Amino acid sequence: MFQNRIKQLVAEGRAAWGAAAPDTSEIVAKQTINCGIDFLWIDLEHRSYGTYEVRWLPILCRQVGCSAMVRVPGLDSSWIKKALDIGANTIMIPQINTADEAKRAVEFAKYPPVGSRGISPLWTAMMDVTWDDYLPVANEETCVVVQIESPEGIENLDAIAAVEGVDVVFAGPADLSASLGVIGQFNHPTLLEFLASFPARIADHGKPAGITFATMEQCRRSYEQGYRFINTGTVLQHGIDGLKSGLNELRELEANE
C-alpha cells in the first residue's frame, strides 16, 4: 500500500518505466495502468485542469501498486499539498533553478519535522486507510522529482542534484532545447550532447536521472545512456502509431492485388 514503486526500483538499481495520462479520463488512465507501467504521469502544468478533475487517478494507481506522479504547475506549496492529498505519492516540480528551490520542493512535500506539509490527506478515506497507518510512513513513501529546464538550472545542476530528499533529477528535453539555444530542435547535437552527459553527472550525487520521450527508440537510447526514470509517452500516442501502422499494412493488401 505505502511502498513507492519508483523508489523501490531505483534502490535496486533498476529502471522505472512510466506513461502519461493524456487527459482526465479514469478509463484511459486505468487502461494505461493495466499495461504494467511503474508510474503514471498526471500533468497539471501544461493542462487546463486541476486536482479536482484528476482526483480518482491516484486512487486507481494505489489500488495496484503503481506510483502516481503529479507534475504540479510550479514550486507552490498549495499545489504540492493538494496533489499529495488526493493520493499522489510522487511529486514532480518543473523549473527548479537552484539548490534552495530544490530544498523548498522537498520541504513542501514532507510532513514535519522534515518539512512543512499541512496535514489533511483525503485519499485515505476513499481506500479505508487510517491516518495512524499513513502519516508515520508518508514522508518515506513520497518521491520528489525535480525538473531541470532553464539556463540557471543547468548552471546549478550539481548543487541541485546534491540536495538531500531529492529522489530523481529530471531533464526536460523541450525546455532544455530552448535554454540551449536550439528551441524545438530535438536532434540538434548541442541538446543531444547535454542529454547524453546528464545521467553521469546526476549519478555522481547518487541520484537517478529522468527523461521523457514519445518513441520507444528514444526511450531505449535514454536507458542505454544511463537514465533510469523514463516516461514513454501516452497510450494515446502509441495507439495512434499502432493504428496508422496497421492501416498501412491493410492498404498494402489492396495495393498488391
Q: What is the pLDDT of residues 197-213, one digit of tens each?
A: 999 999 999 999 999 99
Taking a C-beta distance cutoff of 8 angstroms, is the pair 166, 189 a contact?
no
| pLDDT over threshold 80, residue 74 | yes
pTM of the model: 0.95
**pLDDT value at position 232?**
96
Residue 1 binned pLDDT confidence (cut-offs 50, 70, 90): confident
Task: Please give the positions annotated as active site.
Answer: 46
Provide the strand spans (E) within 87-244.
90-93, 143-148, 168-171, 209-212, 229-234
Provide the strand spans (E) within 10-89.
16-20, 39-43, 67-71
All residues at 6 or more sequence positions from 254 whose CB lies less than 8 Å from its CB, including other chains: none
Separation of alpha carbons 163 and 93, rounded Å: 14
Q: What sign does the CA torsion over 18, 23, 26, 28 have?
A: negative
Domains of the chain plus CATH, in order, are 5-255 (3.20.20.60)
| pLDDT over threshold 80, residue 129 | yes
| pLDDT over threshold 90, residue 254 | no
Separation of alpha carbons 8 and 184, rounded Å: 34
End-to-end Cα distance, the chain: 56
For the chain, give the number of residues: 257
Residue 69 binned pLDDT confidence (cut-offs 50, 70, 90): very high
Q: What are phi and psi of 253, to 5 degrees?
A: -60, -45
Separation of alpha carbons 161 and 197, rounded Å: 14
Whose cell is 514522508? That residue is 139
Contacts of the segment 198-203: beta carbons below 8 A, 24+ positions apart: 198/171, 198/225, 198/227, 199/225, 199/226, 199/227, 199/228, 200/226, 201/157, 201/158, 201/161, 202/157, 202/161, 202/169
| pLDDT over threshold 90, residue 256 | no
Three-class DSSP category at 125 = helix
| pLDDT over threshold 80, residue 188 | yes
Whose cell is 533510469? That residue is 228
Q: The C-alpha cell of 103 is what?
A: 530544498
